[in-house]
Amino acid sequence: MGPLFVDPARHTVEVEPDGAIDVTRTEFAMLLALMATRGTPVSREALLDRVWSPTKDITQHAIDNHIGSLRRKLGMWGEMIDTVRGVGYRIVDLGERGRS
């Protein structure tokens, strides 16, 4: 998507022009979940279900912290992760952001 390349087989994330960035396993899983629904909001509850085991006691605040960390690691492209107030998050092509 745009400058962002996620390779599930190699478990890598690359951002042009900077190259590979290090993400945690959790951040990678969250990024995959957002990319799978490209442009469509994913609720915090859905992220909990997709990323963590149901036996884990994870708060929605933890999701916000992971998203913040992921945004920082993506640098200027962190804005691709859009907050949808009262719902959750979505990933958007920055050129399409105003149209969503």
At 49, phi and psi to the nearest 5? Answer: -65, -40
- Over its C-alpha atoms, the chain yields an Rg (Å, rounded) of 13
Return the higher-pLDDT residue of 17 and 95: 17
Predicted pLDDT of residue 90: 94
- Give the pLDDT confidence of 13-51 residue by residue, as tens digits: 998 877 899 999 999 999 999 999 888 999 988 888 888
* C-alpha separations of 92 from 43, 59, 77 in Å: 15, 25, 10
Predicted pLDDT of residue 22: 93
Predicted pLDDT of residue 54: 65
Would you identify the CATH topology of the domain 4-94?
Answer: Arc Repressor Mutant, subunit A (1.10.10)
- Give the pLDDT confidence of 59-94 residue by residue, as tens digits: 778 889 999 999 999 988 899 999 999 899 999 987
pTM metric for this prediction: 0.83
* C-alpha separations of 69 from 24, 66, 99 in Å: 10, 5, 26
> Which residue from 51, 89, 39 is spatially nearest to 67, judged by alpha carbons?
89
